[in-house]
Amino acid sequence: MYTPIVNPQYQSGAATALAFALLSHPLGARAIDLGFGDFQAHGFLSQGYTYTSANDFFGNSQGDGSLEFTELGLNVLGHPFPNLLLAAQGIYRDTAGSDEEDFRLDYANIDYSLPIGESSTLGVRAGRVKNPFGLYSEARDAIWTRPSVLLPQSIYFDGIGLRSPELSSDGGLLYGRHQFGDHAFTAEFLVGEPQLQTARDFITGFPDAQGRFDGRPVFIGRAGYEWREGRFRLLFSAVDLDKDFDPNSRDVLPGNIKLFAPWVSAQVNLEEWSFTAEYLRISFDRTGIFPALPPDPTARNLLVDNTSESYYLQAQYRFAPGWSALARYDAFFANADDHDGSATARGTGLPRHRFFAKDLTFGLRWEFVENWLVAAEDHNIDGTGWLSPIDNPGINDPLLARGASDGHWDLFTLMFSYRFYPFVCNGRTIHR
């Protein structure tokens, strides 16, 4: 049966998206008088397994496979006053070389919303805020709030160092919503500092790059249309980044990075079926950030510019209570004008398959008892465009890449997950 989609941006941020999925059963009767408004805590623990026929994904996944795929989260949210929300979430995530941050603060913010009449809302959110782009950026942390074990890697990157910058920024967000009948228009605009430190290698092009990013904050915007509480959704997002990189070492020249990424998302939700598609282009310009030795004055002004292209098409079928199936095709092209990678390969010495990835995925999910689920997926992949160079040493070295990777490979993932509820307080009563 179709469940109306909660739009987290106008309820309680990313915390509500998780809470909506995690909070689904009555709690016990033991109560304590706290003397303040509603307050909730929710959590999840997920353990995954990955196996690959070639290449490595989330650890040494060839041979016997890898168990280096753990996700743990605890979020709290509450309304000390009717229009004021406090929300925070801590995350532990281990996916081998792709993510070694261990525990981190995912988000922590204060949200004030102001109703305007009976059909409109304006609000502001400040602190560490979830980045508002695409369909799944705010709710990708837990398998309960994403459609699959792995989101489409062509857009929601997990293996190339861009996950943390995609997740959240330190700053402020303005949002608004206007509803009339079955229709609603939404808008958000964020100004903040993204979590770029974990993406230094990818952004600068230097392994183990050390230094700091300066410059104006990132601008992120998203506008959307919804029909009948999410039965149909259409979103347009955009990210605008302009940063200077000041290296700690004199062996690297300073430089500038510019990124602009328009993003279109659409989703249809029926009683038993959901159909989703997203399309993303990333225009990336890098000036400088080249080796300083031997001295080359022209490198300081050398421009590296590139536009990548990504998209996916996805169908989900809820064929029985607690059961759902998924089919998806997603594609990533490192150069939008060179889909087969041949031109880029000639210029870099790397194999063609390093510059694209096409993934055909079939998945199955079963919520077998209350608060437990198991999900499995099989991926047939052509290309290595989104593989982690940390898990696959030599993949970016022209002398080693052909022996360090295979362009045609299979990936199998399996995940068990449990969601839990430390407590929920409604009004003045806390339940455990």
The pLDDT value recorded for residue 427 is 52
Residue type, 349: G
If one counts every other C-beta atom within 10 angstroms of the C-beta of residue 368, the result is 11
66: left (phi over 0), alpha (psi -120 to 50) or beta: beta
Q: What's the confidence (pLDDT) of residue 291?
A: 64
Q: pLDDT tens digit string along 403-414?
A: 889 999 999 999
pLDDT tier at 309 (50, 70, 90 boundaries)? very high
Gap between the Cα atoms of 98 and 392, Å rounded: 10
Output the average pLDDT for the chain: 86
SS3 track for the chain? CCCCCCCHHHCCHHHHHHHHHHCCCCCCCCEEECCCCCEEEEEEEEEEEEEECCCCCCCCCCCCCECCCEEEEEEEEEEEECCEEEEEEEEEEEECECCCCEEEEEEEEEEEEEEECCCEEEEEEEEEEECCCCCCCCCCCCHHHCCCCCCCCCCCCCCCCCHHHHHEEEEEEEEEEEEECCEEEEEEEEEEEECCHHHHHHHHCCCCCCEEEECCCEEEEEEEEEECCCCEEEEEEEEEEEEEEEECCCCECCEEEEEEEEEEEEEEECCCEEEEEEEEEEEEEEEECCECCCCCHHHHHCEEEEEEEEEEEEEEEEEECCEEEEEEEEEEECCCCCCCCHHHHHHHCCCHHHHEEEEEEEEEEEEEECCEEEEEEEEEEEECCCCCCCCCCCCCCCCCHHHHCCCEEEEEEEEEEEEEEEEEEECCEEEC
- How many Å apart are CA 89 and CA 231, to the nearest integer? 28
| pLDDT digits 0-9 by tens, 330-373 | 999 999 999 999 999 998 899 999 999 999 999 999 999 999 99
Look up tokens 């399996």; give the residue: 414
**21 band by pLDDT with thresholds 50, 70 and 90:** very low
- Whether residue 34 is predicted with pLDDT greater than 90 in this model: the reply is no
Closest of 190, 282, 283, 300 to residue 245, by C-alpha: 300
> Is the pLDDT confidence value at 299 over 70?
no
CA distances from 243 to 133, 204, 214 (A): 20, 11, 6
Residues of the chain with pLDDT > 70, as a percent, come to: 82
One-letter amino acid identity for 234? L
Question: Could you tell me the domains of the chain?
Answer: 8-431 (2.40.160.10)
Closest CA to 47 of 388, 374, 391, 432: 374
19 confidence band (pLDDT: 50, 70, 90): very low
pLDDT of 397 over the 70 cut: yes
pLDDT tens digits for 224-279? 999 999 999 999 999 999 999 888 877 777 889 999 999 999 999 999 999 999 99
With pLDDT > 90 as the criterion, what percentage of the chain qualifies? 66
Mean pLDDT of 374-401: 93
